[in-house]
Structure 1
Amino acid sequence: MAAGIFAVRRDAGGIAVASGLAALILGTLAAVAWQARGLSALQIWDWRAVWFTIWQAALSAALSAILAVPVARALARRRFPGRRALVTLLGAPFILPVIVAIMGLIAVFGRTGAINETLRAIGLGEFSVYGWQGVILAHVFFNLPLSVRLILQGWQSIPVERFRLAESLGFAPADMSRHLERPMLRAVLPGVCLAVFLVCLTSFTVALALGGGPSATTVELAIYQAFRFDFDLGRAAALGLVQIALSLAALLMARHIVAPAAFGAGLDLDRGPAAPRGFHRLADAIAITLATLFLLWPIGAVAVQGLPRIPALPADVWAAALRSIVMALLSALLAAGLCLTLALTIARSNKSWLEAAGMLPLVASPLVLGTGLFILLRGHLSTDDLALPVTVLINAVMALPFGLRALIPAAQTLRADYGRLAESLNMTGMARLRLLTLPRLAAPLGFSSGLAAALAMGDLGVITLFATDQPTLPLKLYQLMNSYRMADASACAVLLMAISFALFWLFDRGGRLA
């Protein structure tokens, strides 16, 4: 009896975090559902936004997966100097502020960008980066690296012995593709497409900056317009319900559609598939070069344009930068505390509902949560009072699922390796946290904190819902773009990018050195 009471007390922190998280997510969703009162508030343009959201997410997912296949295959079967750095670099767009990447795409694909200058020089029509084509382009830019990494893992999951056997049997590249690569792709590609589809389904900043208009409005953008311009909370809430339904449908599909390729186990030898020569070598080189150019050119263009202008940025930009840094640090610390408490409780108690509570933020987008919190708190606080604390809270909550994925396995390993020893030494409370837990979990905790800080630093979601005279740096950048102050916007983008990467590096590096 006493042991049971002690276990409950020891798990009280994690249970409180999980319960608070469930109350926050489910409570805001309930407020949205109550305010919506069904879907009768939706107009014909809203249903067109729903259709465009599904269509652009499906097309973006298909293009990202199709273009990622030759790049992943080339990286899987080629070894060259800088390959590991390039694979690592493919993860950079995940923490790159979305608005910075959009600035880069405008610099390259915009009216005065290099692409349109070339098209005009050879007598072809211009490419417009605004509208549905810009939304698709930006989503492919963000999700191509994710698709490459996921498909590359699929290639690396094929045991080397299968490739050696194929070589000994004299398989040509076409035979290798038919018997090994295509079965792997049939198993991996559905999951890749669904992951990208879900990301594009809840994309807001891309549609805000490059979309708009009746033909390129997503559900997220429609929620923002109904909330901010029309102040039609019923319509915004109804759109939020549609957004939740789409996300749940995609998550349920993701759980049932992926099937294993069943290649069996291998010896985990460090050697990739055979590297055919001739045309195949040239094709692999072209695929890697084009993907690298597509991903790095926009960022390089922003850096070249904006770096010299940073010292001349106005004072309000630096004030916004300081405000964003403080908010990012608060979000990272809050996310780290919640993640650590919940991960330790999950590792100790092995209660599945605790982990399910930690994954709840995946159900709703930040914009839907912000709308729900506004509905719940609007009679008690003004929008200016809500803006910054709500942004900090939602950014921390949205980073939880990613942090838990890094912390839970490490916490379970810590529990298995040192749990009994710590209990035999009666090491509890702050002593156990300081001497055992934090040193052993410093690396994953630093990574998850850095990720939370970088994502919060670049977020342009919740803050746009509130009319505030205290903009964050991403919002200030968006305002500069809207006022056509592109030189200042480029400098602001470089500053935002540098701070985001610096915060991630400092937390991640600090965790590894601890």
Structure 2
Amino acid sequence: MTRARALTLALAGVVALWLLALNFGALGAVALRAEGLTGLRAADWAAVRFTVLQAFLSALLSVALAIPVARALARRQFAGRGLLITLMGAPFILPTLVAVLGLLAVFGRSGLVNEALALVGLGPVNIYGLHGVVLAHVFYNLPLATRIILQGWATIPAERVRLAVSLGFTPSDRLRHLEAPMLREVAPGAFLLVFLICLTSFAVALALGGGPRATTVELAIYQAFRFDYDMGRAAALALVQFALCLGAGLLALRVALPSGLGGGLDRPLPRLEYRRGALWGDSALIACAALFLLVPLALIVARGAPYLASLPASVWQAALRSLWVALGATALTTAFALVLAHAILALPRAGALGLEWLGLAALAASPLVIGTGLFLIIRPIADPRDLALAVTMLVNAGLALPFALRLILPALRDAAATQGRLATSLGLHGFARLRLVTLPRLRRPLGFAAGLTAALSMGDLGVILLFAEADRATLPMQLYRLMQAYRQDEAAGAALLLLLSSLALFWAFDRWGRADAAA
């Protein structure tokens, strides 16, 4: 065994121990503190039912709306199409509270929709409760589902489409024989991914839940933890949440069905002719989706810009704390993903599969569950409030690791397959090989993974609420405090600052990855 391979495996062992402690050690602490599920109240079981219901409705609506939007985008070419598809990815990296404020600007009590209804003599709509939570989740996840399903359309072999054209297939024939088999393969996975995201959505329920009837399990954990100081009940709820996430995660890994379309020769799809009515329908779908996603973001900018320069010092201090947490989490995530990816390639199949599964385990984890377990572990040793930012950084790094690993591992496999033998024949090993051969070919996925991690960490509102007090608040926590205090002008400015910070971090890292990156 070479020294570089031994060092890689040793570092991977350290990362694996950290993942075990973070994901399963915290869960073990929760399980030890929980006194069974008998201590849960009727309201807690109502929260479980509400959690599953809102996640199911959110996933169902997101995928049901994404299918026609993705189909319209797949069928049409127009100026700005690429930019629109890129902008549709913005809500996924958008801080949740910023998205909530954008939706409030459109659908809130003094939002555009209620102002328009008042002009025609109709009563206002109420965004709080189940429908508000579902609306926010659809806003947040519709672009993600659309991108997944649009990729599915791109996988239909061009040869099958050309054959369908030569046979005179109508649009309904193409839907039945080409598109429906693809959707049977792609849509269930998209549904379960959105369902899993909505199960662990804490900030949306916190801001739009609207009372006991619209409380999720994570919100119930937070209330038991911060307000009732009932650690046993919080731990029991955390176990229930883990069971829900684990079940959804395992099902998401096994649900995809083979489409039966086979492979092709990667030729471009032929241009298809559609009825003029279909053109107008596709255009209307694309326009409505763009308005639904972009108008709330435009209102955040318009309402927050006048107050950005006059924000109090506490907001800027919170922004610096968030920046420190985001950059620290990004450094940890990218380093750990690189170590795990190299170790996975170096290990035998069984060991590589186990390490890869461990790296992806956080997909079924809940930040509130991990945070509860870490609080129970730390409290006998030190004051958890003193470690609030460090713990938040570690948890954010762990939760972003599955995304980074899925981006980096395929690129590393490709680099090893195409450049590995040449590098070995030239005597390149260890850090020299990493610097000269591997990293230039990983720059694009590394930049994207770092940008995604930094943006998600910058806007995270979860663990920090369990640990921190006002003097250690991050920017999302400070924004939530301003919203609670009804300081709407300052909240609008803080929301714009959070939006700009998250997008700037993502843009900077992603641009670094794309600048002069090796093909």
Matching residue of 1:431: 432
| Cα separation, 2, equivalents of 1:141 and 1:194 | 17
| Cα separation, 1, equivalents of 2:153 and 2:273 | 13
Change in CA separation of 1:275 and 1:19 when aligned onto 2, cut-off 3 Å:
farther
| Cα separation, 1, equivalents of 2:110 and 2:413 | 54
Question: How far is 1:428 from its partner?
Answer: 3.3
Question: How far is 1:8 from its partner?
Answer: 4.0
| Cα separation, 2, equivalents of 1:491 and 1:6 | 49
Q: Does structure 1 residue 416 correspond to structure 2 residue 414?
A: no
Matching residue of 2:506: 504
Give the counterpart of 1:208 among 206, 212, 219.
Answer: 206
Instruction: Determine helix, strand or coil for the equivalent of 1:100.
Output: helix
Change in CA separation of 1:153 and 1:439 when aligned onto 2, cut-off 3 Å:
closer
Question: How far is 1:56 from its partner?
Answer: 0.6
Matching residue of 2:368: 367
Question: How far is 1:24 from its partner?
Answer: 2.3
- What does the per-residue CA deviation read over 1:8-38, in whole Å, with 9 as the maximum and x for residues that have no partner? 4442111221222123211111111111132
Instruction: Determine helix, strand or coil for the equivalent of 1:451.
Output: helix
- My pick for the range that moved more, 472-481 or 32-41, is 32-41
1:331 counterpart letter in structure 2: A
1:97 counterpart letter in structure 2: P
| Cα separation, 1, equivalents of 2:391 and 2:263 | 48
Matching residue of 2:327: 329
- My pick for the range that moved more, 182-191 or 62-71, is 182-191
Question: How far is 1:122 from its partner?
Answer: 1.9
Question: How far is 1:467 from its partner?
Answer: 4.1
TM-score when normalising by structure 2: 0.95
- Aligned residue runs from structure 1 range 218-237, under 5 A: 218-237=216-235
Matching residue of 2:132: 134
Is the contact made by 1:154 and 1:185 (CA closer than 8 Å) also made in structure 2?
Answer: yes
Is the contact made by 1:76 and 1:272 (CA closer than 8 Å) also made in structure 2?
Answer: no
Is the contact made by 1:159 and 1:263 (CA closer than 8 Å) also made in structure 2?
Answer: yes
| Cα separation, 1, equivalents of 2:253 and 2:291 | 34
TM-score when normalising by structure 1: 0.96
- Aligned residue runs from structure 1 range 53-64, under 5 A: 53-64=51-62
Matching residue of 1:338: 336
- My pick for the range that moved more, 438-447 or 143-152, is 438-447
| Cα separation, 1, equivalents of 2:405 and 2:252 | 19
Change in CA separation of 1:483 and 1:10 when aligned onto 2, cut-off 3 Å:
closer
| Cα separation, 2, equivalents of 1:149 and 1:417 | 29
- What does the per-residue CA deviation read over 1:454-478, in whole Å, with 9 as the maximum and x for residues that have no partner? 1110001111112412111111111
Give the counterpart of 1:182 among 180, 183, 208.
Answer: 180
Is the contact made by 2:375 and 2:467 (CA closer than 8 Å) also made in structure 1?
Answer: no
Q: Does structure 1 residue 281 correspond to structure 2 residue 276?
A: no
Instruction: Determine helix, strand or coil for the equivalent of 2:396.
Output: helix
Is the contact made by 1:331 and 1:456 (CA closer than 8 Å) also made in structure 2?
Answer: yes
Instruction: Determine helix, strand or coil for the equivalent of 2:38.
Output: coil
Question: How far is 1:79 from its partner?
Answer: 0.5
- My pick for the range that moved more, 356-365 or 171-180, is 171-180
| Cα separation, 1, equivalents of 2:89 and 2:309 | 30
Question: How far is 1:325 from its partner?
Answer: 0.8
Instruction: Determine helix, strand or coil for the equivalent of 1:312.
Output: coil
| Cα separation, 1, equivalents of 2:436 and 2:283 | 50
Is the contact made by 2:185 and 2:256 (CA closer than 8 Å) also made in structure 1?
Answer: yes
- What does the per-residue CA deviation read over 1:185-243, in whole Å, with 9 as the maximum and x for residues that have no partner? 23322212111111111110100011041110001101111111111111111111111
- Aligned residue runs from structure 1 range 260-271, under 5 A: 260-271=258-269
- My pick for the range that moved more, 6-15 or 21-30, is 6-15
Matching residue of 2:106: 108
- Aligned residue runs from structure 1 range 228-267, under 5 A: 228-267=226-265
| Cα separation, 2, equivalents of 1:240 and 1:17 | 24
Matching residue of 1:490: 492
Is the contact made by 2:181 and 2:261 (CA closer than 8 Å) also made in structure 1?
Answer: no
Change in CA separation of 1:10 and 1:302 when aligned onto 2, cut-off 3 Å:
closer
Q: Does structure 1 residue 86 correspond to structure 2 residue 88?
A: no
Question: How far is 1:167 from its partner?
Answer: 2.4
Is the contact made by 1:348 and 1:415 (CA closer than 8 Å) also made in structure 2?
Answer: no
Matching residue of 1:401: 402
- My pick for the range that moved more, 265-274 or 281-290, is 265-274
| Cα separation, 2, equivalents of 1:315 and 1:10 | 44
- Aligned residue runs from structure 1 range 308-319, under 5 A: 308-319=306-317
Is the contact made by 2:337 and 2:404 (CA closer than 8 Å) also made in structure 1?
Answer: yes
- Aligned residue runs from structure 1 range 386-397, under 5 A: 386-397=387-398
1:502 counterpart letter in structure 2: A
- What does the per-residue CA deviation read over 1:25-59, in whole Å, with 9 as the maximum and x for residues that have no partner? 11111111111132122110000000000001001
Question: How far is 1:273 from its partner?
Answer: 6.5
1:56 counterpart letter in structure 2: Q
Matching residue of 2:482: 480
2:410 counterpart letter in structure 1: P
Q: Between the two proteins, what is the percent identity of the paired residues? A: 56
Q: Which sections of structure 2, spanning at least 5 residues, go unmatched?
A: none
2:329 counterpart letter in structure 1: S
2:262 counterpart letter in structure 1: G
Q: Does structure 1 residue 170 correspond to structure 2 residue 172?
A: no
- What does the per-residue CA deviation read over 1:472-499, in whole Å, with 9 as the maximum and x for residues that have no partner? 1111111111111111111111111111
1:187 counterpart letter in structure 2: E
1:196 counterpart letter in structure 2: V
| Cα separation, 2, equivalents of 1:144 and 1:227 | 32
Is the contact made by 1:450 and 1:508 (CA closer than 8 Å) also made in structure 2?
Answer: yes
- My pick for the range that moved more, 293-302 or 487-496, is 487-496
| Cα separation, 1, equivalents of 2:210 and 2:282 | 37
Question: How far is 1:257 from its partner?
Answer: 2.3
Instruction: Determine helix, strand or coil for the equivalent of 2:78.
Output: coil
Matching residue of 1:65: 63
Is the contact made by 2:4 and 2:430 (CA closer than 8 Å) also made in structure 1?
Answer: no
Change in CA separation of 1:5 and 1:299 when aligned onto 2, cut-off 3 Å:
closer
- What does the per-residue CA deviation read over 1:231-272, in whole Å, with 9 as the maximum and x for residues that have no partner? 111111111111111111112222332201111222222226
1:403 counterpart letter in structure 2: A
- My pick for the range that moved more, 274-283 or 389-398, is 274-283
| Cα separation, 1, equivalents of 2:186 and 2:434 | 40
Is the contact made by 2:404 and 2:450 (CA closer than 8 Å) also made in structure 1?
Answer: yes
Matching residue of 2:141: 143
Matching residue of 1:26: 24
Give the alignment's Cα RMSD to 1 decimal: 1.7
Change in CA separation of 1:272 and 1:40 when aligned onto 2, cut-off 3 Å:
farther
| Cα separation, 2, equivalents of 1:6 and 1:334 | 20
- My pick for the range that moved more, 246-255 or 469-478, is 246-255
Question: How far is 1:7 from its partner?
Answer: 4.6
Alignment: residue pair count: 512
| Cα separation, 2, equivalents of 1:421 and 1:186 | 42
- What does the per-residue CA deviation read over 1:285-315, in whole Å, with 9 as the maximum and x for residues that have no partner? 1000000000000000110011121111111
